[in-house]
Structure 1
Amino acid sequence: MAPPPIDLLADAARALAAHPDFRVLRRLVPVDRLYAGPAQGKTRVGIALDVETTGLDRDNDRIIELAVQRFRFDELGRIVQIGTPRVWREDPQQPLDPRITQLTGLTDDDLAGQAIDEIAAVEILASADLIVAHNAAFDRPFVDRRLPAVAGRPWACSMAELDWLELGFDGKALGYLVAQCGWFFEGHRAENDILALIYLLGHTAPDGETILAKLLACSERPSYRVNAVAAPFEGKDALKARGYRWDAAMRFWGKTIPEAEMESERTWLLQDIYAGHGEPVFHPQSACERYR
């Protein structure tokens, strides 16, 4: 049986969407812009980035897929132009964990003999005024290690830097956020993830600003890297519950906080963690240093 005509399906979708007991999700499709009007003021270049890797260890695991897509945005954070996605695979020179294949769909045969085009990747990333990932704390260390020529570029994290609850969303996962905007996509593949990220950045919040505009404002605010150096071992559960991550190389817990939280964080650490035996270290950060 032939599928119904697309016009009939579109009419059915509109009818369902108009009823309070139904919610309609539409598949994300490639587009060349999200805002059709004239750009406001000077435009800048953003890059949506995602990696798939052999595992979670930033020091020992390797990138197996890198996807980047340039977009141009204006002074109001509206995406006025979207470029062609570029995707590279890379052979990690070791068999993939079956769980990685299950997660990404990539197999050893897919990766055999493949390599990232370093010249092209560096050229694209070096053109960015801002690189955006939906988990920059994960993606950036892998990219900086694999492509050290772009290690100093500014990054922003759409997952960590925005207060999604305040924006009217539940959760922080990319697929879940996109679904709440009315779209769906096939996740856990780098090319699909960057398209979803661009759509999400172009989404208009209830106050009329785009998600990208709000992310830019967050990215431009000063922040601090808090390192709980020599924190007592018994404080590890409290640190982890508060969002600190263990740095296996440097052997301390750390996290990034806004400047406004600096004094309250210092007070909490001194009272609840150090209890008079040591103190934390605070390092100022810009978008160029965050998530390294």
Structure 2
Amino acid sequence: MSDTAVNSQIETDRKTVLSVRDISVVYEVDQPVEAVKHASFDLGAGEVLGLAGESGCGKTTLAYAINRLHKPPARISSGRVVFTDRQDGDIDLLGLGDEDMRAFRWSKLSMVFQGAMNALNPVISIRAQLEDVLTTHRPGLSRADRRRRAGDALERVGVDSTRLNSFPHEFSGGMRQRVMIAMAMILEPQVMIMDEPTTALDVVVQRDILREILRLRDELGFAVIFITHDLPLLLEVSDRIAVMLQGEIVELERADRLYSHAAHPYTRKLLGSFPSLSGSRGAFIRTGIDETEEEH
């Protein structure tokens, strides 16, 4: 984190469930690119941590590093990721073997990927795709139990369980997004990473899905890392927000304080880039950016 960042809030006041320390990711191409630079944060139990920044700033790369989903030429060059499990205590995710990490994903830490509503297999029923997660991670469940849990997962995200035998093309974009969220939470993980979960959805559907996510967080107690370039959206749903710029977390602060007392110039410019709902036409929310700074 840079010296200009607010670092007083890097520690959450909740019990820490995920601790990310000094993570860097390098793409080993002709000219190596450091896409994430020494990122650090803690995620508290039941917390919604927003991760904001423009496209290409490293948000998704950081999420993939936490999940160890990178493939060459990407490489984690430094850092540590520690998950605090309710039963097993601290687990060093970067030190787990490949098989152990595969078992860990979805069970303890799940992810809703960017473009998730297009991630479903078009020729396999929703039931089969949900039950596949249960078959892999809960092999002892009976067929009836798998079907019941798949139906319950759909109901939790507001989709009728009678739609289990439907195929993805029979769902709207918003409903497919809900199915992906159901898949990510079917094993009741402690942490969910959501990478642009409402992208390409209209505003009404977007708000409905956000309400569902927050309701499920309250019901099941999981923590959320919510990734988006939409800072106003994060101000609505997040407890704290981390702002990324060129691979670095340049500011990490409570959402309410970030809105009123943003410290980093880039954060202030992000806040000043969306229009006010009141005031004269063309007016923007003022967050300490003077006219000279805005011109440049």
Pairwise same-fold verdict (TM > 0.5): no
TM-score normalized by the length of structure 2:
0.26
Higher Rg: 1
TM-score normalized by the length of structure 1:
0.26
Larger relative contact order (Cα-Cα within 8 Å, sequence gap ≥ 6): 2
